[in-house]
């Protein structure tokens, strides 16, 4: 492919600007009408506060996402500095090798826009996190203030998901670069397919991903208070006595898995982390799927009312509190059995 002429470059630039203008016109019109409406009802500061936080968080998320992805691409490129695009050569596509950096950059920009969009949508969660208050009421399972579940946990969950996506895409980009440049060598056997800088890079990314998975399992414990698996909404017997233990166990097991990836940095072979990963998958199936089902089937269902009563009471107590009925005074009225036709006639 030849170089673009000056006329072609100008035409392409103009086309891009016009296309972006058309794509953004709807958004700009919406923002303009929104600002007019908020000003009309004397809430312009609310509109500008929201917009400022949306743009700020979105821009920061975009820069962090793009910077981290590009940094991993740069590391992979540096590690394979003296490698040719072996995979492209084998496929007779060597003429396109010079376009790989541009294609990777375009892909990273696209992913960064997605990461920025997620950040843009997190504005309300972030503001709630920064301005959250205490309810002075703790949940009966973890003794966390109710405010934790309304203001802090949603923020932790969204940031966790954002970081996990970032690391997974970084791993994919690194694997693609190492793959097309021949740094992954399956001919040596899967145990030794990675070595040197590429092995170190991939291992460190896997360590980071494993640590985030461990955090994810730990956060899922708190999500059990939103469980809909029991007889009432909220944590039930199986959630507390099986699912919570399973998440705790998997969080610890994931930390061990991270340790195996760290240990692989000093070993030539990938046997230990791969075997560990196989055991980990089996443990995940057993602990998060089979164990809770066993508890529910053989411990809860034969005596469900007794097992679930404390959790039903939790549900009732917090429902009363939510509707402001927690301070209702209960009184017993003796039953009267002297109802007759005359009493009915008088009333």
pLDDT digits (tens, 9 = 90+) for 167-194: 999 999 999 998 888 777 776 666 666 7
- C-beta separation of 69 from 170 below 8 A: yes
- Cα 145 to Cα 142: distance, rounded to the nearest angstrom: 9
Domain ranges of the chain: 42-184, 185-302
Rounded distance, CA 285 to CA 294, Å? 13
Q: How buried is 162 (Cβ within 10 angstroms: 0-12 exposed, 13-18 middle, 19+ buried)?
A: middle
- Enter the tokens of residue 144: 């966390």
Residue 217's pLDDT band, with cuts at 50, 70 and 90, is very high
When mean pLDDT is compared over 35-44, 50-59, 230-239, the highest value belongs to: 50-59
Rounded mean pLDDT of 114-126? Answer: 94
Name the pLDDT band for 216 (thresholds 50, 70, 90): very high
Q: How much of the chain exceeds pLDDT 70, in percent?
A: 91
Among 43-47, 313-317, 336-340, whose mean pLDDT is lowest? 336-340
Mean pLDDT across the chain: 87
**Long-range contacts at 69-72 (CB < 8 A, ≥ 24 apart):** 69/108, 69/111, 69/112, 69/166, 69/169, 69/170, 69/173, 70/105, 70/108, 72/170, 72/173, 72/174, 72/201, 72/205
Burial of 76 (0-12, 13-18, 19+ CB in 10 A): buried
Give yes or no for residue 300 having a pLDDT over 80.
Answer: yes
Q: What percent of the chain has pLDDT over 90?
A: 47
Cα separation, 97 vs 91, whole angstroms: 11
CA distance 20 to 29: 14
| Nearest to 254, CA basis, from 201, 212, 205 | 212
With cut-offs at 50, 70 and 90, classify the pLDDT of residue 2. very low
> Which among 150, 145, 204 has a CA at the least distance from the CA of 174?
204
pLDDT at 322 over 90: no
Rounded distance between C-alpha atoms, residue 61 and residue 120, angstroms:
8
CA distances to 36, 111, 171, 205 from 165, rounded to whole Å, are 37, 10, 10, 12
Give the residue, 137 or 265, on which the prediction is more confident: 137
Residue 305 has pLDDT above 80, yes or no: yes
Q: Quick one: pLDDT band at residue 24, thresholds 50, 70, 90? A: low
Nearest Cα residue to 217 out of 171, 264, 164: 164
CB atoms within 10 A of CB 130: 10
Range with lowest mean pLDDT among 197-211, 302-316, 326-340: 326-340
Contacts of 274 (CB under 8 A, 6+ apart): 190, 191
Question: What is the model's pTM?
Answer: 0.84
């Amino acid at each position: 492919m030849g170089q673009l002429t000056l006329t072609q470059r100008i035409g392409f630039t103009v086309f891009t600007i016009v296309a972006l203008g058309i794509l953004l016109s709807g958004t700009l019109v919406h923002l303009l009408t929104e600002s007019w409406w908020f000003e009309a009802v004397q809430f312009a500061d609310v509109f500008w506060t929201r917009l400022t936080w949306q743009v700020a968080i979105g821009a920061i998320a975009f820069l962090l996402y793009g910077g981290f992805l590009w940094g991993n691409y740069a590391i992979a490129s540096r590690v394979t500095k003296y490698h040719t695009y072996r995979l492209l050569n084998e496929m007779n596509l060597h003429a396109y090798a010079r376009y790989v950096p541009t294609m990777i950059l375009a892909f990273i920009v696209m992913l960064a826009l997605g990461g920025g969009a997620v950040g843009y949508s997190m504005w309300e969660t972030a503001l709630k996190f920064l301005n959250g208050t205490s309810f002075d009421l703790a949940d009966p399972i973890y003794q966390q203030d109710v405010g934790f579940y309304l203001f802090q946990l949603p923020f932790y969950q969204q940031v966790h998901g954002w970081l996990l996506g970032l690391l997974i895409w970084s791993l994919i980009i690194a694997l693609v670069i190492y793959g097309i440049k021949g740094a992954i060598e399956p001919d040596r056997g899967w145990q030794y397919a990675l070595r040197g800088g590429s092995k170190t890079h991939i291992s460190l990314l896997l360590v980071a991903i494993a640590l985030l998975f461990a955090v994810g399992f730990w956060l899922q414990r708190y999500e059990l208070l939103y469980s809909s698996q029991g007889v009432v909404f909220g944590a039930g017997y199986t959630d507390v006595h099986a699912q919570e233990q399973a998440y705790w166990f998997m969080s610890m097991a994931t930390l061990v898995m991270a340790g195996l990836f760290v240990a692989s940095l000093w070993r030539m072979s990938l046997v230990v982390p791969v075997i560990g990963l196989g055991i980990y998958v089996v443990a995940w199936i057993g602990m998060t799927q089979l164990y809770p089902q066993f508890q529910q089937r053989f411990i809860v269902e034969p005596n469900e009312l007794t097992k679930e009563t404390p959790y039903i009471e939790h549900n009732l107590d917090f429902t009363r509190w939510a509707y402001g009925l927690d301070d209702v005074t209960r009184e017993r009225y003796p039953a009267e059995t002297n109802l007759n036709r005359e009493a009915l006639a008088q009333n």
